[in-house]
């Protein structure tokens, strides 16, 4: 899938991330940090349309790059969906807040993240839930490339930059509760083998989890729901049933499923398929999914 981009330089900032490789906080200092209050962010808006969008993985160089693969101007009414890569030694924008929740999921490498006055080092398969109004910033103090996805939800403005506000550090009570590494999985069973990272039950109005699907297994039967659902394929290839069409979705792709669209997914192999799932927002009560029967042509 070919992706074209527009570049913007804005007097605002962003990027984010975090993960805790060992499950415990590691305090650390920053390197190559921009001056406090530096509000410059170069972000690329993907012009790809359709049910799924593949992230651009062209050579990065010694820089940080963020790509908006979904948002109010390009296919997602519920959230901004962002793929971010940070080269070794690079720093994100200065500390900022958002008026809505900010979710991160680390894909590879290690990341430093500051939540209020607390600093952490994090690794792959860690989710970070940043509630609205919490000051935060991120950087890559490691020796290798770091990659993560970001979900900013809801998306009350078509102007992302207007939502970002500079901030000063302040103490956040029990900040480590927002850094959530996935737990090791045992033997995979039929179905999704879900690992929850954020949900209403632990403070987030949006659900974030990692689903692990072995070859030959699938998710629920074709269904619809009243909220937007997003997948991000981390590993393997997902077979996506979307309305009357079926797609092969490769790794490093966002899938956007608006309310009311019939869908399901399965893993036809080879190997395990792993994807992050976001419910935007997570409903306050069941049923989340309504099964739909596909009978064929109308007689």
- What the chain holds in terms of domains, given with CATH numbers, is 5-181 (2.60.120.10), 194-291 (2.60.120.10)
> CA-CA distance, 3 to 257, in Å (whole number)?
20
Amino acid 50: pLDDT = 94
pLDDT of residue 89: 93
In residues, how long is the chain?
299
Helix (H) or strand (E) holding 108: strand 101-108
Instruction: Say which residue the tokens 């797609």 belong to.
Output: 247
In the DSSP assignment, the letter for residue 37 is T
- pLDDT at position 184, please? 85
Does residue 77 contact residue 157 with C-beta atoms inside 8 Å? Answer: no
Note the pLDDT of residue 125. 96
**Sheet strands side by side (includes 223-224):** 245-249, 238-242, 263-266, 223-224, 290-291
Query: If you ran DSSP here, which 8-state letter would residue 94 be given?
Result: S
Q: What is the pLDDT of residue 278?
A: 98
Kind plus residue range of the DSSP H or E element containing 91: none
Give the C-alpha distances (Å, rounded to integers) separating 14 from 9, 10, 137: 12, 10, 8
State the 10-residue block means of pLDDT for the chain, 299 residues long.
40 34 34 56 87 95 93 96 95 90 97 97 95 96 96 95 93 97 90 95 96 94 96 98 96 98 95 97 92 85
Straight-line distance from the first to the last Cα atom of the chain, in angstroms, rounded to the nearest whole number: 37
Q: What is the pLDDT of residue 91?
A: 84
Any idea which residue has 């924008």 for tokens? 93
Tokens for 156, please give them: 């009350």
Decide if 197 contacts 208 (C-beta within 8 A). Answer: yes
- Which helix (H) or strand (E) segment holds residue 112: the answer is strand 111-115
pLDDT number for residue 119: 98
CA–CA dist 294, 192 (Å, integer): 22
Cα distance between residue 125 and residue 184, in whole Å: 10
What is the pTM (predicted TM-score) of this model? 0.87
């Amino acid at each position: 899938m070919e992706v074209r981009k527009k570049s913007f330089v804005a007097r605002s900032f962003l990027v984010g991330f975090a993960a805790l490789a060992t499950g415990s906080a590691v305090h650390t200092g920053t390197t190559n940090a921009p001056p406090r209050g530096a509000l410059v962010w170069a972000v690329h808006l993907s012009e790809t349309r359709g049910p799924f969008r593949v992230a651009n993985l062209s050579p990065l160089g010694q820089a940080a790059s963020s790509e908006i693969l979904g948002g109010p101007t390009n296919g997602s009414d519920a959230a901004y969906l962002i793929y971010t890569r940070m080269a070794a030694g690079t720093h994100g924008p200065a500390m900022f807040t958002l008026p809505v929740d900010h979710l991160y999921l680390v894909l590879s490498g290690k990341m430093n993240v500051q939540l209020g006055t607390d600093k952490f080092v994090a690794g792959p398969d860690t989710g970070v839930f940043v509630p609205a109004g919490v000051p935060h910033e991120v950087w890559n103090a490691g020796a290798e490339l770091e990659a993560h996805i970001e979900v900013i939800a809801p998306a009350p403005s078509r102007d992302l930059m207007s939502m970002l506000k500079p901030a000063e550090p302040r103490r956040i009570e029990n900040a480590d509760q927002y850094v959530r590494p996935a737990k090791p999985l045992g033997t995979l069973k039929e179905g999704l083998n879900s690992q929850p990272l954020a949900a209403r039950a632990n403070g987030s109005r949006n659900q974030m989890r990692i689903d692990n699907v072995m070859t030959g297994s699938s998710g629920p039967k074709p269904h619809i729901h009243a909220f937007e659902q997003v997948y991000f394929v981390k590993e393997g290839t997902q077979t996506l049933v979307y309305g009357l069409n079926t797609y092969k979705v490769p790794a490093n792709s966002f899938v956007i499923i608006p309310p009311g669209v019939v869908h399901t997914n399965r893993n036809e192999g080879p190997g395990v398929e792993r994807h992050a799932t976001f419910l935007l927002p997570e409903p306050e009560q069941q049923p989340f999914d309504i099964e739909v029967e596909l009978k064929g042509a109308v007689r």
